[in-house]
Amino acid sequence: MRWVHACGIFGTIVASLVYASPFEWAPEDYKPWSTEFPYQRNVDLTFQVTPIRIPDGGPGDPGIPGAHYEGTADPILMLSDFVEFQGDFTWYDSVSGFPFQGLIGIDNRNGNLPKGGSVVFHLDNFPIPNTEKKIWIEWDFLISAANVPISFYVSDSNGNLAVEQWFGPIRTTQEGLSRQNIWFVLKPNPIWEEITILFPFVPAGGYALIDRFHVATECIPEPASGLLALVGCAGLAWFGVRRRRSRELLN
Ligand SMILES: [Ca+2]
């Protein structure tokens, strides 16, 4: 049973958002995974614009700026997603010496001191507790030396860390980017999860940059369609209230 069947209107919205960017390594080919493309949540970030949302940026552009949303549950859940930078993390339209467009991270080639920082990707879920959450990530990055440390982890609204995790081998794309797939399992399904990539030490003269971050999630077993429709509609109402409230706060 696909989420898209839950409610006719969701299906219509989803059809208008479909954007064909599958993973190079699809989750179902590598790790335990139940749903089919485009999955429940499927967020592809290439960073053509800064992913940091400006709270009063105006109506009509929900979700993470510049994100390609493809998942069947995204039209509802995207409203409260966000990305946050900490420390020296920065968005770059491009960086000298590389052909890539839209990067986030730390370019410290002109610096005299080490830098550090992190990015947090916050994704929301349907509040269905008796299930398991699986997360699949494919990310493209560039680091100036193999010994620039990277810390990659997921945390959730229950205060839990992943119960299972797998870090795939780092391979090199034709364009010269490092590419890796990562899989996490959270139990029970949280209200939200946050994926953090930390570059704690980028030495002077070095860099650590992310060109693309693509994440899919699924909540298993998938909720029965009747329950989902109920939760989905309640969720919509709830988000409606939340959005109205936040607009009132801004005014
Ligand atoms: Ca990019």
Q: What is the largest CA-CA distance in the chain?
A: 59
How do the domains of the chain map onto residue ranges?
3-250
Structure tokens at 241: 């209230």
Q: Is 33 exposed, middle or buried (0-12, 13-18, 19+ CB in 10 A)?
A: middle
**Which one of 3.10.105.10, 2.60.120.260, 2.40.420.20, 1.10.1300.10 gives the CATH number of domain 3-250?**
2.60.120.260
Segment 187-229, tens digit of pLDDT: 999 999 999 999 999 999 999 999 999 999 999 887 665 555 5
CA 232 – CA 18 distance, rounded (Å) = 19
For the entire predicted model, the pTM comes to 0.82
pLDDT band at residue 16 under the 50/70/90 scheme: very low
Residue 217 and residue 41 in contact, taking contact as beta carbons nearer than 8 Å: yes
CA of 244 to the centre of ligand 1 (A): 33
CA angle (190 as vertex; 59, 103 as ends), nearest 5:
55
Residue 232 scores a pLDDT above 70: no
Nearest to 135 by CA among 181, 74, 68: 181
- 231 compared with 240, residue with greater pLDDT: 231
- Report the separation in Å between the CA atom of 124 and the middle of ligand 1, taken as the mean of its atom positions: 23
* Centroid of ligand 1 to alpha carbon of 208 (angstroms): 13
Q: How far is the CA of 127 from the centre of ligand 1 (A)?
A: 32
Return the structure tokens found at 15: 């059809």
